[in-house]
Amino acid sequence: MSAGTVGKSPYDSEAVRRMIYEPDWKTLENISEQAKDMLEKRDYEGVGRLLCRYGESEDAVSRIAFHMHKADLSRTPEKAAEKGIMQLFDILSGTYLMRNGRINPEENSIPKAMAAKHTFMLDHYVREHPDCGIARPEAEEVKAAVRILDGDTVTQDKAFSELYDYLMMCQPPSPYVQLRYGMAEDYKLHQALEYGMEAEPLKEKYGTVPDHTVVSARLTKTAEKALESLCNRPPNPYLDQLNEELEKLGRLAVNPKSIDDFFIYNDFLVKYGIDRKSPEEVRIRQAEAAYRELDARFVKMTGRRPYADELFGRNRQKTDVAENAGDRSLRNKPKGRRMGM
């Protein structure tokens, strides 16, 4: 094929191509069932043979790719690096669908996003195991894969859902989400500390045994940043949870002795960089800085006006600040009802 025809169908017309290569509905159903059965049995060679046989058929490859997608063949870097799975994706890349696909863009996005995820996960595996003998994907290929994944609605929605469940219900995110949003190393460390890994291996790797609370706080902040980057306005339960933390920070900034209140937990202080053992004036500065940062996030997430300058305004008397700091809530409240302080 000449350079001028790259990306164009080699056939005289799409109708001719479909007449030659596209199976009838009954054959498509049979192909779909075969692919599903083979993948359940991990018969990747069999799936590869199907792809080779029907490689010029958009409809058949689309059906096979759908079941490959459901099987999540690249769910971990280790799976992505399995020989049979690498061969399967190599065959998929040579099909007409991946070269010149013209079917419904939503259907076409499944194999393309799936192939991009395989490239992304394989790259991580080879980086972690440089002596594995597998050629690392080219840097430009990895960047292109990330662009595809970041532009794929299904992938992004799933990532958002996993991050939300992690932050609200402590459900573990998938290895892909951990790697894509910079959580993998801390999550692995968090699990090791959670389940009582022996101290010596941790000391060898980190020089000391990391503090579980510090690691947990770092993970939470990373997950929050990722989640907020994936939507214009997060769900209300998430905002409510952060709003409670904003009010606590306001209390600590205007009344540092409230650090001894029963609802001020150590993990909260660690998350926002407030040292319980520091002098009061230091804790006030730390709480104010944390309040301002979280307040700015609320402005971006909800479009409301900022509260920090009003709360910490130099021209306001301290008593006025103490009276009104707790009234800064995310949404308007009925008259006579106070929030927080």
Distance CA 44, CA 51 (A): 11
**Residue 55 is encoded by which pair of tokens?**
């490689």
Q: Token match 């399967």: residue?
A: 88
Q: Is residue 164 within a helix (H) or strand (E), and if so which, with residue range?
A: helix 153-169
Distance CA 119, CA 77 (A): 10
Note whether 141 and 147 are within 8 A (CB): no
Task: Give me the half-sphere count of Cα atoms (radius 13 Å) on the Cβ side of residue 208.
Answer: 3
Q: Is 253 helix (H, G, I), strand (E, B) or coil?
A: helix
H helix runs in 152-235, sequence order: 153-169, 175-180, 184-194, 199-206, 212-229
Q: What is the pLDDT along the chain (341 residues), one digit of tens a residue?
A: 343 443 455 556 778 888 889 999 999 999 999 999 999 999 999 999 999 999 999 999 999 999 999 999 999 999 999 999 999 999 999 999 998 866 555 556 889 999 999 999 999 999 999 999 999 999 999 999 999 999 999 999 999 999 999 999 999 999 999 999 999 999 999 998 888 777 777 777 777 878 999 999 999 999 999 999 999 999 999 999 999 999 999 999 999 999 999 889 999 999 999 999 999 999 999 999 999 999 999 999 999 999 999 998 743 455 454 445 455 544 433 333 333 32
What pLDDT score does 10 carry? 57
Identify the burial level of 46 via C-beta atoms within 10 angstroms of its C-beta, where 0-12 means exposed, 13-18 middle and 19 or more buried. middle
What pLDDT score does 127 carry? 97
Q: How far is the CA of 321 from the CAs of 243, 314, 338, in angstroms?
A: 18, 10, 14
**Residue 181 is encoded by which pair of tokens?**
């949003």
What pLDDT score does 316 carry? 47
Residue 67 CB neighbours (<10 A): 19
What pLDDT score does 175 carry? 98
Distance CA 81, CA 83 (A): 6
What pLDDT score does 318 carry? 53
What pLDDT score does 13 carry? 77
What pLDDT score does 203 carry? 77
Note whether 267 and 248 are within 8 A (CB): no
**Residue 240 is encoded by which pair of tokens?**
């409510």
What pLDDT score does 202 carry? 76
What pLDDT score does 104 carry? 56
What pLDDT score does 319 carry? 44
